[in-house]
Amino acid sequence: MLLSRLRKVLRQAADPVKAPIMQAYMKSEMPYHGVPMPRLRQICKVAFVDVEFATAPEWYGQVLDLWRAAQYLEERYAALYLTRDKRALRYQTPSAMKLYEELIVTGAWWDYVDEIAANRVGPILRDYPAPMRRKMLSWSSSADLWKRRTAILCQLGSKAHTDLALLYACIEPSLGSQEFFLRKAIGWSLRQYAWTDAAEVKRYVRRNRDRLSALSVREALKNIA
């Protein structure tokens, strides 16, 4: 019912000119309705206004119903919108990681993964450091590159609260990778921490220069004078 309601509004807001342009830009096999993100947020706010999450399983179920049945990218973005709903704030615990793991692995693209890593997994890590630290260390060596990327990027919003030892430990298994999305993630995570401690990032890059890719180095030092 929730997906049907959402689809009806998305069809009305669809832009057939923008849709293929957005799909091409994102290199997506799944089509777009052509609805810009600001408009999509407004649509979700209205469509989900009376949704109730009495229990965590009800919340998981609503999110997964949208995600698994999605036929357009905006429908998956709507599922992500539902994961950050204030009514689900109490369910943002390590137990939610099973849900996020499915979204990360089946989404398998940076637009989903980066949002989940920084704004869903990251806050849970800060609130529940012990169990989440173990999970991120495990993910950092996963055969799935998107779980690896999540482990590297999950502290983007942590600033001075960054667990630096964890960040370096999550980067370590991917230092020799030829994968663009991992090299980019390494540089991005270091660049973000450089806003807090530029000297430490410069020291890390200098010490690991022979193991870091040129892309990672360039990204890490981009904003350092």
Q: How far is 67 from 31, CA to CA, in rounded Å?
A: 14
Q: How far is 75 from 222, CA to CA, in rounded Å?
A: 35
Cβ contact 132:94 at 8 Å: yes
* For range 149-168, the mean pLDDT: 98
pLDDT reading at 225 higher than 90: no
Sign of the torsion formed by the C-alpha atoms of 188, 40, 72 and 90: positive
pLDDT reading at 69 higher than 80: yes
Supply the pLDDT for residue 1. Answer: 79
Q: Residue type for 170, please?
A: C
Element spanning 166, H or E: helix 164-171
Supply the pLDDT for residue 27. Answer: 94
* For range 93-119, the mean pLDDT: 97
* For range 72-101, the mean pLDDT: 97
Which structure tokens are listed for 148? 């690896």
- Mean pLDDT of the chain, nearest integer: 96
Supply the pLDDT for residue 108. Answer: 97
Report CA-CA distances (Å) from 49 to 6, 11, 103. Answer: 12, 19, 23
| Residue 192 CA from chain centroid, whole number | 15
Give the SS3 label for residue 50.
coil
Task: Convert the pLDDT of each residue in 28-66 to its tens digit.
Answer: 999 999 999 999 999 999 999 999 899 999 999 999 999
* For range 113-132, the mean pLDDT: 98
- The secondary structure of the chain in percent helix, strand, coil, rounded to multiples of 5, reads 70, 0, 30
Supply the pLDDT for residue 55. Answer: 96
